Structure 1
């Protein structure tokens, strides 16, 4: 039943940015309350036909109210294309919803999913008023820490060791590794040997599901569609390809408009018919993968080779980084696909920007929209997004080894009431680093060793039980989190 209410909730989540756009706290409360009600209703079961009718009707009503957000959410499917909101609706929701069921003095009503062992702690929760109608726990909220398992970040991101090692790409770098969206067990990686490998990690032993072959040169980047039915790849052979993950067949080959090496790609979050690519001729292009054509007005030029791309969650701002050390922000027109250049930040002149990752909230304690950036300056950089045009302000830096390799990093996908929030990055010293972004000093909370070359990319599965990392010699290691 969980999958049913996640689908229903995701329909609302797609339109949530349009609800009271000036009051993000209200939008968050709405989604959480909607999630709670759907979970309660799911206990009674759903008729499959009724569910599909409801989803269609709900989408129609929201579309009439707020306007259509996109065509199909992915190239081949619509009904399964909506990604659930697991980033912000994780296992801590039950606790937060229960707290809202309390009276103004903190007296607890009857809550069906509550833990009686936490009764005394729940009555001692301290709140901090953030804005009218919005309450969040302070650092003194003992109950929230208990619901999070009463563990530190270091304990939460402790790993028992290597779950599996894939070595079929040995001697050719694997620049990108990524779990499928909202999936625990499907993993993919691309290699400079010109192939993409799809893995299944459970049931054991892990295996290679299929290998995607067709590019004549190395693959630089790839992206899963939201429904995981399609993968887009970019290659040094100056083409992008659209692949069906079910059978591994190439649906379409699209040449770069500039006949140039393609270096990075990203799906438009609200319309997976559109993919943005960056090339070695310093251009960014919005491509329609259904037609194979460049979108009119969807191109712009940077100061160097385009190495990294990232959208914000609503898909309204695109950031692009180049090998001259600049990050550009673009406003994306949802109706036409047109790009409008907005801001430029020079991180360090001549230092390549190799990774950009956007996050609306780092944690429930740090609610600023943020950008995580890898640049060849031997630091991992965390920026605060300060306006609606994507302007950036440096918030924190973390020491890593990166002077020349295309190293990438990620935000940890789950949020909780646990103090602090983690990011994970590769490094040229062959290690994987975990940093608490809320610590001003001694921010490193974990370090994984096992690679024999520079670690280029890292990826968590949806529940953070597995972490994958890839390196410059083609090794992919899947790490298992220690079970408490």
Structure 2
């Protein structure tokens, strides 16, 4: 129960964050990240949380002079009295007549607070910061540590992972994680960045210490099946969700090193996973062109809820969830890479993870495991950006608000083979990309004039 109250306190602050330090969007971003960390550290009784939320709400309204948009009481757990607390959720705004993702007319005043840079100016990645070549086979995935500008992890089909420092002088490989006997298919940082979990075709999950580089635990798939993806449960990092080659989604207990008895049978090969921020809904992509949503509670129970066909007999190689694309476009979205030469955007339409198609863009993708990402910083600027790799060796910056034939506003050309994975650091100053030949390129953003 305390976790639910913590989420409500964070949601309350998030609603008012746009009014803080209106001339400093970077400060607002750092504030809300630190606020989330502090709330997780607080220990209060439910009654104390209720009083805290009431007082905090009054102070914020007095400080910023704007009412709080609170939902009805339909979300209050049945064991609470209806007068105790109103639970807050982020709901999507009503779409305009033109059906745009970003309500641009209503956002003019908000954008004035953060300057008039266009989306192309804001994502003008033009120079190479550094190139890493420590891997001898394709680098399947790159990902920066949470809330960290510098540390980057890379996984490879050569069976190793590497942790790199990209901001040191010069950038360097801090440690190599060696232990898998076959290619590493996926990995995830823990919330505190002290652990990395990796999945492999050798049928194991390995848990690594980031500091020492040692393998702390090895978890074997119950059916000795190749593991193709893994993801920490966002609210409970003691749980790790995995997808295997046989179509089973399972949850492993990190502390015990054992898989839980329950599993979710999806079918096909599980190629990608994505959670919502609260760890309740998980989306699963397979090699049949399907996205399956499932409900996952904090104890690790899985229940399949919805299924959508993206395209017959294609691979869903990447799924990314974003609660808000920008501060003015609050529809929860799923970004999808599909091996029918497409990058798709779906809107989350209900509490069971149902999806509705919103945009589709052409992207060269037939054979390899191509990944994409949302840009991490929400802003009031015109447009909303995603970045994807491609089998033509390019990295594409796409404004998902524009029509497909005019959506690409920046292209990076530096790889000589298919680009498999892309990822930003948290402040968007650097972009990492990896390719089929094992190269990792760190791109730097041009400083605005």
TM-score, length basis structure 2: 0.81
> Contact 1:137–1:144 at 8 Å: present in 2 too?
no
**Paired position in structure 1 for 2:271:** 307
Deviation at 1:57, TM superposition (A): 8.0
The residue that corresponds to 2:184 in the other structure is 219
Stretch moving more, 323-332 or 139-148: 139-148
Distance 1:390 1:137, change over 3 A: closer
Q: Distance in 2 between matches of 1:428 and 1:342?
A: 33
Give the Cα separation in 1 of the matches to 2:130 and 2:3: 35
- Alignment partners' CA distance in 2, 1:278 and 1:57: 31
2:423 to 456, 459, 462: 459
Compared CA separation, residues 197 and 314, structure 1 to 2 (3 A)? same
Aligned residues: 392
The separation in 2 between residues aligned to 1:410 and 1:218, in whole angstroms, is 23
Instruction: Indicate the residue corresponding to 1:71 in structure 2.
Output: none
Q: After TM superposition, give the deviation of residue 303 of structure 1 in Å.
A: 2.0
Q: Distance in 2 between matches of 1:305 and 1:173?
A: 20
Mapping for residues 8-47 of structure 1, pairs under 5 Å: 15=5, 17-18=7-8, 28-29=14-15
Select the residue among 302, 310, 316 that pairs with 1:339: 302
The aligned residue for residue 130 of structure 2 is 164
Query: Partners of 2:418 and 2:40 in 1: how far apart?
Result: 48
- 1:381 and 2:320 correspond: no
| Residue 379 of structure 2 corresponds to residue 416 of structure 1 | yes
- 1:58-73 equivalent positions in 2, closer than 5 A: 58-61=42-45, 65=49
The DSSP-based 3-state class of the residue aligned with 1:308 is strand
The correspondence of residues 72-471 of structure 1 with structure 2, limited to 5 A, is: 101=64, 138-139=104-105, 142-170=108-136, 172-297=137-262, 299-334=263-298, 336-441=299-404, 442-471=406-435
Q: Cα gap change, 1:213/1:150 in structure 2, threshold over 3 Å: closer, same or farther?
A: same
Residue 43 of structure 2 aligns to a residue whose secondary structure is helix
Residues 425 and 434, structure 1, Cα contact 8 Å, conserved in 2: yes
- Looking at structure 2, the residues matched to 464 and 397 of structure 1 have their Cα atoms a distance apart, in angstroms, of 24
Task: Judge conservation of contact 1:17–1:27 (CA < 8 Å) in 2.
Answer: no
Counterpart-to-counterpart distance in 2, 1:56 and 1:188:
25
3-state SS of paired residue (1:257):
coil
C-alpha distance in 2 between matches for 1:241 and 1:354: 22
Contact 1:154–1:446 at 8 Å: present in 2 too? yes
Cα distance in 2 for residues equivalent to 1:312 and 1:407:
21
Unaligned runs of 5+ residues in structure 1 are 1-11, 43-50, 67-96, 105-129
**CA distance, structure 2, for counterparts of residue 270 and residue 64 of structure 1:** 21
- Residue 137 of structure 1, CA deviation: 8.4
SS at match of 1:276: strand
- What is the RMSD of the two structures over their aligned residues, measured on CA atoms? 3.0
Shift in alpha-carbon separation, 1:380–1:183, aligned structure 2, 3 A: same
Q: Hey, what's the Cα distance between the residues in 2 that align with 1:203 and 1:467?
A: 16
The TM-score, its normalising length taken from structure 1, stands at 0.75
Question: Given the superposition, is the C-alpha separation of residues 202 and 14 from structure 1 closer, same or farther in structure 2, using an over 3 Å criterion?
Answer: farther
